Amino acid sequence: MKLLYTILFYIALPLILIRLIWRGIRSPNYWLRWPERFGRSAFLSDQTPVIWVHAVSVGEAEATRPLVKILLVDYPEHQILITTMTPTGSARVQLLYGDVTSISHCYSPYDVSFAVKRFLKQTHPQFGIIMETEIWPMMLLTCQQLNIPLVLANARMSERSAKGYSRFAVFTKTVLQSLHFIAAQTESDRQRFKQLGADIKKVHAIGNLKYEISLAMSLMEQATAMRIIWGSQRPIWIAASTHEGEEAMILNAARQIRSACPELLLIIVPRHPERFDKVSAISQKAGFKTLRRSENRPCPSDVQVLVVDTMGELPLFYAASDIAFVGGSLVPVGGHNILEPAALGRPIITGPHYFNFNDITKQFLKADAAILINNTEELAETVIMLFKSTAQRHNMGDAALKIIANSQGASKRLVNLIKRHITHHAQ
C-alpha cells in the first residue's frame, strides 16, 4: 500500500504543481519559495537541538501560541522550526513569531520520499509535533525509520473522516502506529483513533489547544478607539471567514437588518485573500456604500459595509463588533473556529454546516453561547433580535467566556506528555 500511495502521489504531482500555479494567479505568494516544498529548506540546523512544529494554515498556526510559549520556557536551549503549507499560514507565523530569534519558519515538503528525506536531513528535528490531523503517510513513516518521534497534537477525528480512513484500514493502522503518541481533543476522537488501529495506550484525550487563546492586552483599547471614530452607539456586526456564496446571503440579511437598524455597519472578512477584490465588488454591486480596510481611512457614518482585506486583524474586528457570525457555515465548508469571538465575550451565530468544529460548536449551542441559523431570513431575524436585547448579548458573551475559562490547560498537558514519553527517554 505504501508503494501504491507513493506511485499515486508522483502521478498527482504535476496536477499539484498546476494547482499551485493557478492559485498563484490569484495569490502570487503561492509562486514563491518552491524549493521548500521539495524539502530544500532555508533553515539549516547546527548543533542546537530542533523541535519541529507543523501547523498547516492560519488556524493551526494560531493554536500553536500557548504551546510554543511553554516550549520556549521548558526547552530554552532548543530552536523551534514551524512549518506551514499555505502562504496565509506562513504570514501568520511571521506575524506571531517574527521577532523571536529562536523560532524559524519554512514550508513543509510535499509527501514524496525524496522531499521528505531532504527536509529531515537538513533540519534534524529531535522530535516533531503535528498539529490537528495532518496525517501524511510518507512523512510519518520516514520519521519512524529515522527514529524521530512524532506527536499528533490537538488531533480530531470526525465520523466522516474516520469512514474515509477505514477504507484503507491496514495502511491507516500502520501509519497511526508510527506515531509516538496521539494527543486527541476529546474522548470521542480518542475512540475513533482506536477504531482505526492506533494503540489506545498511546492515545490521550487532553482537550483542545485552541481554547487557550492569547489576545493582546491592547486589543480592546484599539477596538474602543475604532468604535469612537465610527460612532460608539452604532450597531456593528461581523461576518468572519466567509466563503464563496456566503457574502450574497449575508448582504441580503444586512439589507433586512437595516430596516430595523438604519445605522448598521456590516464588517465582512473573507477567508481567502484572493477573494478580497471579488467580495468588495459584490458588496458595491448590491448597492452598499463599501469601504476597504486597505484604504487606510476613517469609516464614516455613510459607509454601510467594511471589507477587511488585510491579514492578521480579525481579532481586532471581532472586538470592535457587537455580534459575530462565523462563516464557512452557511455553505457546506464545515465552519470555522468560534473560539476567538468567544474569548472576547461576543454572542456568536453559526450556520448549519459546522462539522469541522462539531464538538466545540455543539458545546456553545448547548450552553446558549451561540445561536444556530439555517438561512438568510433566520440570520437577519437573529441579528435584529440580538441588537434589540442587550441582556441576551451579554448573557451569551458571559456563557462563552465561562466555557473558555473552564476548557484550558491542554498545552501544558501536551508538554507534560512529551517530557514523559519523549525527552526524558532521549536523555
Does residue 307 share a domain with residue 255? Answer: yes
- Give φ, ψ of 389 to 5 degrees: -120, 90
In a domain, 333, yes or no: yes
Residues 135-157 have pLDDT tens digits of 999 999 999 999 999 999 999 89
Whole-number average pLDDT of the chain: 93
Does residue 157 share a domain with residue 306? Answer: no
- Among 114, 117, 118, which residue's Cα sits nearest to residue 40? 118
Does residue 307 share a domain with residue 196? Answer: no
- Among 375, 337, 334, which residue's Cα sits nearest to residue 240? 337
The more confident residue out of 172 and 159 is 172
- CB contact at 8 A, 326 and 243: no
H or E stretch at 164: helix 159-166
Q: What domain count does the chain have?
A: 2
CA 155 vs. chain centroid, Å, equals 13
Among the ranges 87-101, 150-164, 363-377, which has the highest mean pLDDT value? 363-377
In a domain, 292, yes or no: yes
Does residue 124 share a domain with residue 34? Answer: yes
What three-state secondary structure class fits 271?
Answer: coil
Confidence of residue 45 (pLDDT cuts 50, 70, 90): low
Does residue 376 share a domain with residue 299? Answer: yes
Which cell is 332 given? Answer: 457546506
Does residue 107 share a domain with residue 64? Answer: yes
Pairing mode, if any, of strands 323-326 and 150-155?
unpaired
d(CA 15, CA 351): 33
Which residue numbers are catalytic?
A: 60
- CB contact at 8 A, 112 and 103: no
Which cell is 81 given? Answer: 522550526
In a domain, 9, yes or no: no
In a domain, 343, yes or no: yes
Residue 152 is part of a domain; what is its CATH number? 3.40.50.11720
Which cell is 190 given? Answer: 480518542
Quick check: 397 pLDDT over 70? Answer: yes
Looking at 257-414, which runs of residues are DSSP E strands? 265-270, 290-292, 305-307, 323-326, 348-350, 370-372
Residues 73-83 have pLDDT tens digits of 999 999 999 99
Q: What angle do CA 184, 190, 195 make, to 5 degrees?
A: 140
Residue 251 is part of a domain; what is its CATH number? 3.40.50.2000
Residues 179-237 have pLDDT tens digits of 999 999 999 999 999 999 999 999 999 999 989 987 878 899 999 999 999 988 899 99
Residues 228-263 have pLDDT tens digits of 999 888 999 999 999 999 999 999 999 999 999 999
Structural domain of 177 = 24-212+408-426
Name the pTM for this structure: 0.81
Among 57-71, 78-92, 161-175, 412-426, the minimum mean pLDDT is found in 412-426
pLDDT of residue 19: 86
- CB contact at 8 A, 289 and 343: no
Does residue 182 share a domain with residue 243? Answer: no
Does residue 306 share a domain with residue 207? Answer: no
Does residue 341 share a domain with residue 225? Answer: yes
Please report, as a single letter, which amino acid is at residue 196.
Answer: L
- CB contact at 8 A, 39 and 116: yes
Does residue 382 share a domain with residue 329? Answer: yes
In a domain, 174, yes or no: yes
- Among 305, 356, 330, 249, which residue's Cα sits nearest to residue 339? 356
Does residue 369 share a domain with residue 227? Answer: yes
In a domain, 116, yes or no: yes
Among the ranges 24-38, 44-58, 384-398, which has the highest mean pLDDT value? 384-398
d(CA 109, CA 128): 14
pLDDT of residue 200: 96
Does residue 288 share a domain with residue 182? Answer: no
